[in-house]
A and B are shown apart, each in its own frame.
Chain A
Amino acid sequence: MRKRDLIKRLVLGSGLALGLSAVLSAAAADDTIKVGVLHSLSGTMAISETTLKDTVLMLVEEQNKKGGLLGKKLEAVVVDPASNWPLFAEKARELIAKDKVAAVFGCWTSVSRKSVLPVFEELNGLLFYPVQYEGEESSKNVFYTGAAPNQQAIPAVDYLMNDLGVKRWVLAGTDYVYPRTTNKILEAYLKQKGVAAEDIMINYTPFGHSDWQSIVADIKKFGGAGKKTAVVSTINGDANVPFYKELGNQGVSAEDIPVVAFSVGEEELSGIDTKPLVGHLAAWNYFMSVDTPENAAFIKQWHAFIKDPKRVTNDPMEAHKIGFDLWVKAVEKAGSTATDKVVKAIVGLETPNLTGGIAKMLPNHHITKPVLIGEIQDDGQFAVVWQTEGTVPGDAWSDFLPGSKDLEGDWTAPINCGNYNIKTKTCLGSAAK
C-alpha cells in the first residue's frame, strides 16, 4: 500500500534525523561548557525573572568574548518553567540529566527553590540562587548569592529603630513562606529588643492583593497612637503597586509612616508611576544609583547587551553577576566543571561587589554583602541614606529563632553538613529540612 510506504519512510526519516541530531549535539558538547538558565519566561513571575535570564545570557556572552572557560566556549541552555513550581523540578532534571549542564543559574520564589532542591541533591548539580530569601537552609548543591535575613531584614529594622526612632511596627507580608519566616525572625528580634507585643501588628494578604483600603486604614489607625510607626513590608510582586497607591490616596506620607520594603527594586518601580512612593524605603545589597566604577561598567554593559538605555539594573542581577564570577573562578581553580571539585574550590573565593567591598563565598554557601537602605526618588531610583560599614556575612540559620540558633552550615571538611548543631556537635542531616 502506498500509504503504508509513506508512513514507513516518515518513521525511518525521522529516526535518522533524531540519530543525526544526537550525534551532532554530542559532538557540540565536547567543545562547549553548558550553563543552565532556569527562569520563568511566562506566567506570574515572568515580570521579574525574564531580566535575570537576559543577565545570564549577557554574562555568558562576555565570558566567551574573553576566550571562554578552560579553553572551551560557554553555551547557555535556556528553559522556561513557566512560573509553575513542579515544572521547575522537571526542567531542572532535564537540564542536569539530559543537557548535562555544568551549573544552573535560576529560581526566584522560595517555593520554586524548594521544589528543585531534591533534584539538585539527587543528581549532584549546582544551583546559583540570586534572590533574597528567608534563610533556614544550606545545601551542598546550592549557592545563595542573594541576601539572608541578617543581610537585609535585620539591618533595615536596626536602621528604623536607631536612626528614625521607630517604636511601633507593622509587619505586612504576602501569605507564603518567605514573608512568614522573615516576620517570625523579625518578631523574635523586636521582642528581644524590648518592643511590646501590642506595638507589633502583623498582617498577611494573598498574592496579587489589590484592595488595600481596610489594611491601609488599619495601619493609619495603628500609627495614630502617638509613637513613631513604620511598616516593614515583605509584600511581594505587583501587589505593592496598589498598596503604595492606596497609601498615597489616604494621605499617608513617607514622612509620617515610612514603609521599608524587601521586595521592591528598580525593576518593579520601572513599570509604575512612582509619585506616591517617593520617600519610602527599600533595603537591598545593591542599588543602580550607587556610584562606583564597577557599577558604571556593569550598567554600560547591560545597556549595550539589551540595546535599550532605559532598562534598569537591580539587586538579583548583581547577585547573578557575583555568582557567575565566583563560579568561573572556581572552575578555573579546580581545572574542571565537576560538581564536587567546584564545591570544594569555590569556598573562600572572592570577587568585587558592584557597590564596593568584596563578596566572599562562605563555607555555608552564602556570601558577604554590604547592606544599603535607599529612599525611593521620583525617577524610580533609590538614594542611599544608610549603609553598613563593611560587609555582612550571610547567616544560613537565624540566631533569633529557637529551633535554628545553634545550627550552622559548613560545607568544608571535616564537617560537611548544612545543619550542624554546634552545641551537640552533630549533623542533623536531611532530618531538619
Chain B
Amino acid sequence: MRITASHHRGRGLAGAFFSLILAGMTWWGTAAAGTLEEALPGLADRAFAVKQQAVQAIAATGDSRAFPILQALLAGDLYTREGADPPLVVARRTGTGWSLRDPLTRADLGEVEWEAVKKIPLNNALRTALRGGIATLTLSSPDPAVRSRAAKDLMRDPSPESVAALRVRLEQEQDAAVRTTLVLAVAVADLRVGTPEARLAAVSTLEGSLHPEARNGLTTLIANETNADVKAAAERALTAIDSRLTWNARAETLFFGLSLGSVLVLAAIGLAITFGVMGVINMAHGELMMLGAYTTYLVQQALPGWVDYSLFVAIPAAFIVSGLFGIAIERTVIRFLYGRPLETLLATFGISLILQQLVRTVISAQNVAVENPSWMSGSLHINPALALTYNRLYILAFALLVFVALLLILKRTALGLQVRAVSQNRAMARAMGVRSARVDALTFGLGAGIAGVAGVALSQLTNVGPNMGQAYIIDSFMVVVFGGVGNLWGTLIGGMTLGVANKFMEPWAGAVLAKILVLVFIILFIQKRPRGLFPQRGRAADG
C-alpha cells in the first residue's frame, strides 16, 4: 500500500482510501502486527522525550498507516482519552463536542463531550522530529511537490540515516526540480559529515546558492574546518553568496519601503480629500479607519467559514459604513464650523474620542481578532533569499487601485467636477448652480469612505482595537502636508518617498530614530517649501 499524494490537498482522499481498505480491521490490527502498534502508546506519554522517541520509532516502521498518524499529531488532531479503548483518537470539532476516529483503522468511534478528550501537547523538538519523520515517509511520494518538501525538511537537521535516504532517492529521481533540491540537501549534509573530498565537492555545489541552509552550512564549516583547501574554497563560496545577498537585501528594503509607503498612502488618501480638498482638519480620520476595520471584523463574524471571501464584502461595507458616519459628522458638526479651523480641530477631536468610546462600549475594550484569508498568508519566493510577503503585495496593489479610482472620480465624474469647483471658488460654483452644501456632505462622505476602505487593509496588517486610529492620524497629516495640500499625486509620491526613506534608514538608525529623522526631515522640508512637494498654483492656492 502506498501513501497517496493527496495529503497536501487535505486528508480527505487519503482518509477515504484508508477507511475503505482498513475498515474491517480491528484496533490491534490483524495484518503485520508489528512495531507501529508497539510504538503508538508512547505518544500518549506525558514526557516530551518519550513522545519524541515514539515518533521516531513510528517513522522507522515504514508502515503506511504511520504517515496519517504523524500528520494528525502535527496538525493537533490527535487526542488521548481515559478509560476507553483505543486510548488514542483522532478528534474533529463538531458543534457540540468531538467526533472521534480510530487513528489506525480510521473507523468512526462516534461523538463525545467537550471534556472527554485531551489534546496531546507538542513542543518544538517534537515538531522537528515529526517533520523529519513525515519527510522520511514521504520522500518517495508520487507527487514531486511533496518529495521536494520532504527533501527540504530533511536538509534542516540531517542525520546519517536521512542522508542515506536522500542519496537513494537522488539516484532514482527523474523530476528536475526535485533533483536540484536533493543535490542541495545532500551537499549540505556532506558539509557536516562527509570526507574532505566530499566536503570540497559539496562546497563547489553550493557556490552561488542563495538557500539559507547553504550559507548556514558554509559558515559552520569555516568555523570548524581543519583542511586548508576546503576552508579557502568555502570562504570563496561564502563571499560570492554574500555579494549576491547584498543586492537581494537592497531589493528587499525597497519593497519594505514601498509597502510601508502604500500603508501611508492608504491612510492619508482619505484625508487628502477632507483636509486637502475641503480644508477640514479632521482629527477623527483615524477613527473612520477604525470603523472600517471593525466592519471587516463584523463581516467576518456574520460570514463564518467564508474568511477567504469576506474581504470582498468588507470593502464596500466599510466604504458605506464609514462614509455614512462621515456624512453624519459633516451634517451635524462640521458644516457649522467652515472657516474656523481651530474649532473644527477641537470638535473633530471630540468626535474621535466619542467614536472610540462607542466601539469600546458596544463591542469591547479588547482588541478583536480579524482573520487573514489564506491567499494573503505566506510569501512569494522570487529566489531562495528574497521572498515578498503576499499580504504586503496585495496591499500595495490595493493602495494603487484606490488611488486610481479616486483620481478617476475626481477627474471624470460630475461629482468630481463639482468638488473641484466648490473647493476652488465656492461663491462662483454656487452662482453656477452647484448645491455646495450637498457637495460638501458628499465630499466628506467620500473621504470618510476611503478611510473606511483603508481600515479594511489595515485590519490585515495590524491590531484592530478602539485605539488603532490614533496611530495613523499623525502619519496621515504628515503625508498630506509633505505631498502638498490639495494634490492627490503629492499624497502618492509623498507617502511612497517617506516609506522608502524610513526603511532605508531603519537598519542603521533603528525603528525609533528612523521615525524621528523622518519627522525632522519633514520639518526642514516644510521650512523650505511650505506648500509641500506639489504646491497648488493659481488663485485657489490663496483661498
Contact = CB atoms under 8 A, between A and B. Distances in A.
A217 B127 contact: no
B511 interface: yes
B216 A224 contact: yes
| Most chain A CB neighbours (cut-off 10 Å) among B119, B216, B217, B366 | B366
Given A42-B365, A224-B215, A254 B124 contact: yes
Given A204-B510, A213-B259, A385-B48, A241 B463 contact: yes
Interface stretch (A43-51, A108-116, A329-337): A43-51
Interface string B274-302: 00000000000000000000000000000
A312 to B, nearest CB: 11
A45 B253 CA distance: 33
Contacts of A157: none
B104 interface: no
A204 B462 CA distance: 18
B393 to A, nearest CB: 11
A69 interface: no
A154 interface: no
A292 to B, nearest CB: 15
B471 A375 contact: no
A46 B463 contact: no
Interface stretch (B5-13, B26-34, B313-321, B367-375): B367-375
Nearest to A49: B365
Q: How large is the interface on A (under 10, 10 to 19, 20 to 34, 35 or more residues)?
A: 35 or more
A238 B124 contact: no
Interface stretch (A185-193, A313-321, A376-384): A376-384
A210 B462 contact: yes
A272 B369 contact: yes
Contact of B471 (A210, A214, A241, A273): A210
Given A47-B367, A242-B461, A250-B387, A375 B260 contact: no
A238 B377 contact: no
B536 interface: no
A143 B219 CA distance: 49
A255 B367 contact: no
Contact of B256 (A203, A217, A272): A217
A50 B360 CA distance: 12
A248 to B, nearest CB: 7
B358 to A, nearest CB: 12
A74 interface: no
Contacts of B377: 248-249
B43 to A, nearest CB: 14
A352 interface: no
A183 B266 CA distance: 36
A293 B378 CA distance: 42
Interface string B375-390: 0011100000001011
29 contacts: A42-B357, A44-B467, A46-B360, A50-B365, A50-B366, A175-B512, A203-B511, A206-B511, A206-B515, A210-B462, A213-B259, A213-B260, A214-B256, A225-B216, A226-B219, A227-B220, A238-B463, A241-B367, A241-B462, A242-B462, A249-B378, A250-B379, A251-B387, A255-B128, A271-B369, A375-B124, A377-B122, A383-B121, A385-B48
Interface of B: 48, 76, 119, 121-124, 127-128, 131, 156, 212, 215-220, 223, 249, 252-253, 256, 259-260, 263, 357, 360, 365-369, 371-372, 377-379, 387, 389-392, 461-463, 465, 467, 471, 503, 506-507, 510-512, 515
